[in-house]
Chain A
Amino acid sequence: MGITSTHEPPMQKTHRQQAIHRGSTQKWLVLEANGIEKQYWKDLWRYRELFAILAWRDIAVRYKQTFIGVAWALIQPFMTMVIFTLIFGRLAKLPTEGDAPYAVLVLAGMLPWQFFSGSFSACADSLISNANLLTKVYFPRLIVPAATVITNFVDFIISFGILAAVMIWFKWLPTWRLVTMPLWIGLTFAVSMGVGLWFASLNVKYRDFRYVVPFIVQFGLYVSPVGFSSSIVPTKWQLLYALNPMVGVIEGFRWAIIGKGLAVNLMGLALSLATTSLLLVTGIRQFRRMEKQFADVI
């Protein structure tokens, strides 16, 4: 490199020569079958702006397209909360956690659940709905499903307003535990991405996987403690029950929001963490493995 520059008299260095000189310090990019992995993670960082703009696009379009816009992010969880509180709390008379109002219990489970189900569905569909991008430009494909999770995160933040309102209504004060919230949000991210990546890549290959997604969301709503408290699950089933990663997430949210008189089920949390990391790692691996074929198959 030093030699290259000594060949040129520094006086005559034009703009173009500078460009060439800069070029000579650049690294060769090698494309071949099963190319190097390291490049991918570097690219992921290099394309962070595209990631941000794709997430922004989805958010902008969502709130422009739907007539009631932001209100939808509020109405949906609010109505579900009302129904769940009436059915599980009033009619079925299920116990709440400690002496927390049933509505708070439901909302503390509902918000992460809706965050998860929304991101999971969008994630699973993301590659198909962005097919025009995948076949025309290069970028690490992981950006696309990840951006959809961000979009749903915005919905989540907005619907958090309801929780605040309901807590004020019931005069239920949060404790210091609320500070741990980012942790639980991060966990929801991980679960959504883990499951979402699996389905996103399978969806490209087997197009009828999209019919499985709504079923899983519906099924998951009943096996996760969204409308009820985990305390009603019999002890002998607790282990199996805790295999569902959303159990750990929702219990974490309840622990942080409701506060008083709630203990962490460490065993359950550990199990949830284990399944989550397993899902995430295998999900990323599966996605990476299928990613090379996306443009050819889609």
Chain B
Amino acid sequence: MLSEMDDSDTLIRVESLGKRYDLYHQSNEKYEALRDVITRHSKAAVRLLNPFTLAGQLQKSRHKMVRTQSHSKEEFWAIKDVNFEIRRGERVGIIGRNGAGKSTLLKILSRITEPTTGRVEILGRVASLLEVGTGFHPELTGQENIYLNGAILGMKRREIKSKFDEIVDFAEVQKFLDTPVKRYSSGMYVRLAFAVAAHLEPDIMIVDEVLAVGDANFQKKCLGKMEDVADREGRTVLFVSHQMAAIQTLCERGILLHNGSVMHSGDMRDVVSKYLDIGENSAERSDISRLARSGTGEARFSAVYPVDEEGNETAAFQLGDPFGICFELYSDVFVKDLSVGFSIHDQSGQSVSIVYSDFDNRTFVLKGESQPQKIFATIEGAPLAPGRYSVNVRLVKCGTEIDWPKGSVCNFDIIDAPYYVNPAARSGHTCVICLKPAWSACKQQILVKEA
């Protein structure tokens, strides 16, 4: 009785959890065609029945069969020996690189797939949100989809009915309730889907990278709503995201997954810095060659990515720390006087900064080599507020446009620095830049500019 009371606050207990997948190399598909199974077996049978193979060949063909079969199947542990506990009211962020096992873990916790080893114990009602608008049907109206989606997410009809007006208000779609959602704009669609999810009232909420879609303001509204609910009602939230800024805002505890096991767990800030330490966390880049572009094309960007102080590609920086951007340029011919320009945009698309290298009278030369040339721009202590930023680039030569890929070429995250995370005033999330002033009383400190 006593021991039961001791851990009465634990809601999720994960013990030596593992999930194995069998990979089939023969085909790229996860499922097989019956035709393949039949031909595979009949080929072997024909080989065995052939009188010529019977004698010496028999051994060989059998050998071959075994080899092809073992070759086509491979085991892969998506997660292995994972242990952790989550207590009531905790908001836990799960981070890790792509393929670290985050999604598999969430799928097991939300009962979509079974573990191969170990066990999970869960107390209370779980709602998992692995996708926004799961089950939305384009032919059905907004109203119908609210009921459908709500039921899919585990709400009772009565519950949806009582929250219906609230959901509609939140989504701001009053006028379009009787319109099939296929006629919705993508913004309205996402808003409606979020609104249903935001009104779920489970004991435990599991949220995957769903906040990556939707416009920034609405995202903030949803994060706010989730935070609100978690604070007020002591809801337990498990949150997976690549957006370090968002995850830091929402979660106080973190779990870092690496190659399928827990590498570190504890205070979210420590976990994020551990995550950044693992390195080789590549930034989210777009394939520049697929972007529409204008300019003469004498020289072209082949890659653009954020880098740390050592010049290694990275995905996130702490607010106020120096960060860099590497531009890889390529040209078949000799080109000189190249000025590299880039702009940084926040999530709403608002441009935060635009700068060209010739502002500094700095231009670059390409010698027409087959290797792309790397050019670095390093920024000291940028006061960008925590959040996700995207980068656009443009190359000019004496006022002539050489190359301009249309659209963002890479993303990076700025995460909170301890300086700005005063628990009493968490201001970093509602401003555009974070200044670090010098404070003084009575008399203003005089800033002397060096001549």
A41-69 to B contact mask, C-beta < 8 Å, 1/0: 00000000110010001001100110000
Task: Find the residue from A4, A53, A298 having the highest chain B CB count within 10 A.
Answer: A53
Q: Which residues of A contact B59 (CB under 8 A)?
A: none
Tell me the minimal C-beta distance from B297 to chain A in angstroms.
42
* CB–CB B122/A28 < 8 A: yes
Q: Does B30 interact with chain A (Cβ within 8 Å)?
A: yes
CA distance A208 to B34 in the complex (A): 6
Q: Does A92 interact with chain B (Cβ within 8 Å)?
A: no
Task: Find the residue from B31, B123, B134, B137 having the highest chain A CB count within 10 A.
Answer: B31
Q: Does B49 interact with chain A (Cβ within 8 Å)?
A: no
CA distance A107 to B154 in the complex (A): 41
* CB–CB B5/A3 < 8 A: yes
CA distance A53 to B30 in the complex (A): 30
Identify which of residues 128-154 in chain A touch chain B, using a CB-to-CB cut-off of 8 Å: 132-139
For the A-B complex with A24-B8, A53-B157, A297-B31 known, give 9 more contacts whose Cβ atoms are closer than 8 Å: A23-B11, A26-B124, A30-B119, A31-B122, A65-B139, A133-B152, A136-B130, A137-B134, A298-B30
Q: Does A296 interact with chain B (Cβ within 8 Å)?
A: yes
Q: Does B209 interact with chain A (Cβ within 8 Å)?
A: no
Q: Does A207 interact with chain B (Cβ within 8 Å)?
A: yes
Tell me the minimal C-beta distance from B269 to chain A in angstroms.
27
Q: Which chain A residues have a beta carbon within 8 Å of chain B's beta carbons?
A: 3-4, 16, 19-20, 23-24, 26-35, 49-50, 53, 57, 60-61, 64-65, 132-139, 204-209, 292, 295-298
* CB–CB A26/B123 < 8 A: yes
CA distance A11 to B311 in the complex (A): 62
5 A-B residue pairs with CB within 8 Å: A3-B1, A33-B117, A49-B151, A204-B31, A206-B33
Q: Which chain B residues have a beta carbon within 8 Å of chain A's beta carbons?
A: 1, 5, 8, 11, 21, 29-35, 37, 88, 107-124, 128, 130-131, 134-135, 137, 139-140, 144, 147-148, 151-154, 156-157, 180, 203, 233-234
Tell me the minimal C-beta distance from A173 to chain B in angstroms.
42
* CB–CB B31/A33 < 8 A: no
CA distance A4 to B109 in the complex (A): 28
Tell me the minimal C-beta distance from A150 to chain B in angstroms.
15
* CB–CB A206/B114 < 8 A: no
* CB–CB A137/B122 < 8 A: no
Among residues of A, the one whose C-beta sits closest to the C-beta of B234 is A16
Tell me the minimal C-beta distance from A172 to chain B in angstroms.
40
Q: Which residues of A contact B31 (CB under 8 A)?
A: 204-207, 297-298
Among residues of B, the one whose C-beta sits closest to the C-beta of A135 is B112
* CB–CB B114/A137 < 8 A: no
Q: Which residues of B contact A207 (CB under 8 A)?
A: 29, 31-33
CA distance A207 to B157 in the complex (A): 35
Contact of A28 among B121, B128, B140, B151 (CB under 8 A): B121
CA distance A118 to B110 in the complex (A): 33
Tell me the minimal C-beta distance from A144 to chain B in angstroms.
11
* CB–CB B120/A32 < 8 A: yes
* CB–CB A296/B113 < 8 A: yes
Among residues of A, the one whose C-beta sits closest to the C-beta of B110 is A138
CA distance A17 to B163 in the complex (A): 23
CA distance A57 to B8 in the complex (A): 41
* CB–CB A31/B114 < 8 A: yes
* CB–CB B33/A132 < 8 A: no
Tell me the minimal C-beta distance from B104 to chain A in angstroms.
10
CA distance A61 to B115 in the complex (A): 36
Given known A-B contacts A50-B152, A61-B140, A31 and B120 have beta carbons under 8 A apart: yes
Among residues of A, the one whose C-beta sits closest to the C-beta of B157 is A49
Contact of B123 among A28, A31, A61, A295 (CB under 8 A): A28
Q: Which residues of A contact B121 (CB under 8 A)?
A: 28-31
* CB–CB A33/B112 < 8 A: no
Q: Which residues of A contact B33 (CB under 8 A)?
A: 206-208
CA distance A207 to B119 in the complex (A): 32
* CB–CB B119/A32 < 8 A: yes
Contact of A23 among B107, B109, B118, B203 (CB under 8 A): B203
Given known A-B contacts A16-B233, A16-B234, A29-B121, A209 and B151 have beta carbons under 8 A apart: no
CA distance A33 to B153 in the complex (A): 24
* CB–CB B233/A60 < 8 A: no
CA distance A19 to B111 in the complex (A): 24
* CB–CB A137/B152 < 8 A: yes
Tell me the minimal C-beta distance from B76 to chain A in angstroms.
11
